Structure 1
Amino acid sequence: MNIEDIKGFLPHREPMLLLQHNWLDEEGRACGTYKVSGDEFFLQGHFPGYPVVPGVILCEIIAQTAGILVMDELKKGALSLFAGMENVRFRRMVRPGDMVQTQCVLLRASGQLIKLQGAATVDGQVCAEGVFLLMLQKKEQ
């Protein structure tokens, strides 16, 4: 899926729509990509003269990748919100020009709570990884 397809189910929009491609692999894992251009709003002050993608942004890209796993609920108007993160580790800097590849596997779904294992890599090296808890929440009218 390209960015226009992703907009069909993720409620995010620029500048917070960070996922550029999204697909399910042959094993049912959610996969995605994001190319760091260097012009992103979150790089403006992080860090002047030596921009580094903040770890929380990597977590957000991983969470957006997982959206394809709950696409049907998102298309019905649900929001996917962070409910928690466990054992998150940041192992490598991500800088302008890097192609971030993400992967998520569903560990458990119980009612509105989704638990998944996710990781972001650049050139095969893990940048961020952890367990992410997402809550599907209906929009209040």
Structure 2
Amino acid sequence: MNKEEIMKILPHRDNMLLIDEVELIDGTARGKKKILGDEWFLKGHFPGNPVVPGVILCEILAQTTCACLPGQSTEGKLTLFTGLDKVKFRTPVVPGDVFETECVITKIREPFYFAKGKGYVSGKLCVSAEYSFAITDKKA
């Protein structure tokens, strides 16, 4: 999926749509995000030595996971984190890196979804996590 196709699944727009492409292979979502260096989250983290914040890496994992929801419309709904567990950061992600993700939904109890994901740069593990999210109706 390219960005236009991703936007049919995710409500995220502008600077908060953090994945460039994603594909679903045998139930595993595999995504990519090229870190260019001009992203808003790098401006103060850290001056002269930019590092992608861990919370952004977790958001990229979660957005990738939503590719596991084809056929389920999230139009008019909110997809919200409900938990993060067993998060481990191993290697910093920096400008110039291509951050690649592998994510899978492990359990569904609607409206809750449970997942796990890993993120890599050049095959080296950078982050791993278990997390959950809910798909809820938007509130005015």
TM range (shorter): over 0.9
How far apart are 1:14 and its partner, in Å?
A: 1.3
- Output the CA distance in 1 between the equivalents of 2:105 and 2:10: 18
Report what 1:52 is aligned to. 51
Report what 1:7 is aligned to. 7
Report what 1:88 is aligned to. 87
User: Helix, strand or coil for the counterpart of 2:32?
Assistant: strand
How far apart are 1:111 and its partner, in Å?
A: 1.5
User: Helix, strand or coil for the counterpart of 2:128?
Assistant: strand
Gaps of 5+ in 2: none
How far apart are 1:74 and its partner, in Å?
A: 3.7
Report what 1:69 is aligned to. 68
Percent sequence identity is: 43
Q: Which runs of 4+ in 1 moved over 3 A?
A: 71-76
TM-score by length of 2: 0.95
The one-letter amino acid of 2:24's match is L
Question: Is contact 2:80-2:133 (8 Å) kept?
Answer: yes
Q: Deviations over 1:88-130 (max 9, x none)?
A: 0000000000000011111100111100111111011111111
Report what 2:115 is aligned to. 116
CA RMSD of aligned residues (A): 1.1
Question: Is contact 2:29-2:68 (8 Å) kept?
Answer: yes
